[in-house]
Amino acid sequence: MEKHTISVLVENKFGVLARVAGLFSGRGYNIESLSVNVTENPQISRMTIVTTGDENVIEQIDKQVCKLMDVINVTDLTGSHFIERELALIKVKATPKNRSQVVEIAEIFEGKIVSVNKCELGIELSGRAEKIDDFIALLKEFGIIAIARTGRVAMSKNSECSE
Amino acid sequence: MEKHTISVLVENKFGVLARVAGLFSGRGYNIESLSVNVTENPQISRMTIVTTGDENVIEQIDKQVCKLMDVINVTDLTGSHFIERELALIKVKATPKNRSQVVEIAEIFEGKIVSVNKCELGIELSGRAEKIDDFIALLKEFGIIAIARTGRVAMSKNSECSE
């Protein structure tokens, strides 16, 4: 069962998020992560949903979501032609004694230190989900205090140029 | 009416997202953006919701969301003691003639170029929502092809150190 990233363009109206989320839970499709925000057109929002399933299940999801009110279109953004990103804010224990170790790991991953006090560090990290997973796994030994992680967003790498 | 960032910790179970989204739409509370993903504990997910309302409305939302099944706790993360971030992938028209202008703007905002071909550039940008809004506004004159934007995530800057 593969992870799929599904992009859903919707009219920015009351209830459309509840309708899409309700379809997933009602049919027993899992939502692993979800992001929703406005697009360049404030009347239209884009939802990006990460879900798991074989080709059949994903085809079913695409069809059923398409039929919902205020849904404009549904695209499966899975595969190598897509750039995928998530962002995480991670607060980790770090004392003056071991702080430099945590900072070093953050630098390797190109994370940004966003807060610090005498017992903890706040780090911002963006990248593919696997990179964020690896970063969190490495920080576990120091003691993770909190994680706030966006859902995934994705975009095709290239499109045809008209000329 | 102020924008509020509300963090909702939930059991990672079927239907909890639909329940929370349904409460917002059923009561007529707007969801401006939403992010949901797992935390350091894979049994628990964190939703971050941006909504608009006066103090009374936000208090009502907090109370009602708290009562929903599988909701662990609700925190209002609004104010100066919180770090807020979003991430956006933006595809913009850029020809060999004006590409360097687009790249220059991306560099000023500390964005990363993630894809390029002869007619467009893909840029990754993270930061506060206002920064991303400003960046998008500046790119509009070149022609925006697509935007995929995560919901917001937020984290308190500091907590009390126990010693």
Q: Which domains does chain B carry?
A: 3-80 (3.30.70.260), 83-154 (3.30.70.1150)
Predicted confidence band of residue B50 (pLDDT cuts 50, 70, 90)? very high
The answer to whether the beta carbons of residues B45 and B38 sit under 8 Å apart is yes
Lookup: tokens for A48: 């990006």
Whether B149 sits inside 8 A of A46 (CB atoms) is: yes
- What amino acid occupies position B53? G
Q: Could you tell me the mean pLDDT of each successive run of 10 residues in chain A, 163 residues long?
A: 90 91 91 92 94 90 95 88 94 95 97 94 96 96 94 85 67
Contacts of A137 in chain B (CB under 8 A): none
Which residues make Cβ contacts (< 8 Å) with residue B110, sequence separation at least 6?
B125, B127
pLDDT for B140 equals 95
* Tens digit of each residue's pLDDT (9 = 90 or more) over B81-120: 899 999 999 999 999 999 999 999 999 999 999 999 999 9
Q: Say if residue B79's pLDDT is above 80.
A: no
The answer to whether the beta carbons of residues B153 and A150 sit under 8 Å apart is yes
Lookup: tokens for B74: 């609700």
User: What pairs with residue A121 in β-bridges?
Assistant: A92, A116
Contacts of B86 in chain A (CB under 8 A): 37, 87, 150
Contacts of B115 in chain A (CB under 8 A): 83, 155, 157-158
As a whole number, mean pLDDT of residues B9-38 equals 92
pLDDT for A96 equals 92
Q: Say if residue B129's pLDDT is above 90.
A: yes
- Kindly state the percentage of chain B with pLDDT values over 70: 98
Q: Which helix (H) or strand (E) holds B43?
A: none
Task: Give this complex's ipTM.
Answer: 0.91
pLDDT for B9 equals 95
pTM here is: 0.92
Q: CA of B150 to nearest chain A CA: how many angstroms apart? A: 5
CA–CA gap between residue A35 and residue A129 (Å, rounded): 14
Predicted confidence band of residue B163 (pLDDT cuts 50, 70, 90)? low
Chain B residue whose CA is closest to A22: B18
Nearest by CB to B148, which of A18, A136, A154?
Answer: A154
CA–CA gap between residue B28 and residue B24 (Å, rounded): 6
